A and B are shown apart, each in its own frame.
Chain A
Amino acid sequence: MTSEAPKQHLNPFSLFYYAYKGILNWGIFALIALPSQRTNFWVVIGTLLSLVIIVGLLKFFFFTFQIGGDMITINSGIFVKRHTHIPYGRIQTIQRSQWFFLKPLHLEQLKIETAGHESHRPEVTLPVVSESVREEIDRKRLAVKGSSTTPDLTTDQSAKPTVDSSTPLAATHHYEINPHDLNVFALTSFGILPLMGILAALYGKIQEYIPQRLVNTVTKEIISQSILIISGIVLLIVIIAVVGSYLSLVQKYYKFTLTSESNQLKTYQGLFQRKSVTIPINRIQALRVKQNVLRQWAKISTVQALAASSAGDDDKGNDMMILPVIKTHDVFNQLKPFVSWAPDQFISLERLPRQNYFYFIRNAILWTLIPIAGCIYFFRLWGAFSLLLLIISFFLGWYSSSNTGWQLHGDQLIMQSGWLFTRTEFIIPKKNVQSFSLNQSIWMSHKKLAHLRVNVRHGNHNEQVEIRYVPFKDAEKIFNWLRIRN
């Protein structure tokens, strides 16, 4: 069957890709070898380059793929020949990414992922291929889907009443990010905090390299103005961090679009590197609506899908962004056309009684006592400044407790929690709850409180959703509701 399809090589540009990868992988050895006396600089570089080129050529030569009538076949391996066959029906997601400089050449990278969640890589990467390859695969995939009624997408997630999601085959929905919202989104990121840390550390490092004499003379002169200098540096670090995180977010979600077609969601995003991810809608296990406290004030939210697939942001643990930024009041209006089971609007949640706030605040304060004790022990009186952390931890606890909420809505469980000034709401269809538990310490049982934990599949691992210090009767109600098979 498959032998009829012609064997294709990657685009020759993939040699640059292999060279780049090779230098990344082996460059470290060159760096180790270089400083020693006995090695000649040119010999080392020459060996590295020739190795990279030879291996790259071999890989290029031995890597072929065939787009057959009912499956894709990938042949690779220099010594150990490997043939991977992927039937179209088994393809879960296709991810494509395209650097801006490859756009004029119509070349892109494709990652094809299957449902199997074995320990070895569940995906195949075609590093540099022509855009027509994806078009051909898509065409063949659709043809296969059309002929067989249900392509049996998964082994484990067949638990899906595919009534509503399959009907609007013709209707495609389209969403494009609002540039103004994206600006607000990028400006309200907490991402500036780690960036500020890195910048501060860098500044410390740079200071070490400045000649001591220079520092001494300069400091003597300006010691009186030190407060001014310090605040200037702090301000500079903050500005660089804000600008840096702003630019990185804007370029990442630049012209983000979401399209739904034939039971699939497709995202498209990025400035320098256009990335696209496609996932079947019935792989979505739960929805997550997220906003940090700044975005709560700015009234914007982020919607992510927890999908049983490893697609999505590679670096951020499979968080598949559906709507990176959306006006909070508009979340479900926009979401509903894409995910048919999503609620029509924000469901009002049950909240914790005020007296339960105490436990969150107490815990937050107990945790900060550790660094405070350390500060006071090491810095004595100056360390007492760390007592200010108590105020922050008070608000952290308050925030967590006031944002805890839950509700049962049809066959969905809605759980909301707050953590580090970020509010997260999960919408979980009952059928996607893999297991759940009720936890209670002996002290909590006197106070009639419990933690409720719900496990959902996310990527190839588990996501535990928890609401804490819930009145026992409410937790029990949800627990018993989850127990009943629907």
Chain B
Amino acid sequence: MTEGTHLPEKIKNVWRISAFINFAVLLIIAIGCYIAFIFFNWQWLFWPGIGFGAIAIIDLIFELILVSYRYAFWRYNLTADAVELQSGYIFKKLVSIPIARVQDVTLSAGPILQSQKLQTVQITTASTSHKIDGLEPQTAEQLRRQIMQLAVEVKENDV
């Protein structure tokens, strides 16, 4: 259960940036509550404001701590017949997606991923969908081509 490739190091930056963005969003809500509390004297907003602020800070701390943990145990592996994704240590999970079942592979990148020159890979079967958080574009493209090629071969030979 230990073979496989790590995600690129840069994915840590992506996770950190998105942690800060989450933090910022929650903080803006908290500040909004606070402003409304001060200026319009809406008493009931006091505790929700504090709540959002607290969640923002706790969420940020946890996500930052978890970045290295996630990175250390997240691996992917492309075998002849399957894509395998492994994650976690305390709650270990090994998912296998037979390539014969793959319906489509989608590569995409939002602004954060673009800034790090990474792409997410989304693998879809007839009923489930699996995501690799970020890969170098050439690795992603290569993976996509490999999966699609295998998928086509399998469709032709196997079934």
Residues of A participating in the B interface, judged by any CB pair closer than 8 Å? 156-161, 308, 431, 433-442, 445, 455-458, 461-463, 479, 482-485
Contact = CB atoms under 8 A, between A and B. Distances in A.
Given A435-B95, A437-B95, 6 more contacts: A156-B126, A434-B98, A441-B91, A445-B92, A458-B127, A484-B81
A158 B154 CA distance: 12
B94 interface: yes
A158 B159 CA distance: 8
B95 to A, nearest CB: 4
Nearest to A484: B81
Contacts of B154: 485
A150 to B, nearest CB: 13
17 contacts: A156-B126, A159-B101, A159-B158, A433-B101, A434-B97, A434-B127, A435-B98, A435-B130, A437-B93, A437-B95, A440-B91, A442-B91, A458-B127, A461-B127, A462-B127, A463-B127, A479-B96
B18 to A, nearest CB: 25
B42 interface: no
Contacts of A160: 159
A436 B96 CA distance: 6
Nearest to B150: A485
A286 B94 CA distance: 23
Contacts of B98: 433-435, 482-483, 485
Contacts of A462: 127-128
A157 B126 contact: yes
Contacts of B130: 435
A159 B82 CA distance: 16
A158 B155 contact: yes
B127 A455 contact: yes
A458 B127 CA distance: 8
B103 interface: yes
Contacts of B127: 434, 455-458, 461-463
B100 interface: yes
Which of A160, A431, A437, A440 has the largest count of B CB atoms less than 10 A from its CB? A437
Contact of A442 (B82, B90, B95, B103): B90
Contacts of A157: 126
Contacts of B93: 437-440
Given A434-B101, A435-B98, A457-B127, A440 B159 contact: no
Given A435-B98, A461-B127, A483 B89 contact: no
The 3 closest A-B pairs by CB, nearest first: A457-B127, A462-B127, A434-B125
A104 to B, nearest CB: 43
A472 to B, nearest CB: 10
B126 A431 contact: no
Nearest to A160: B159
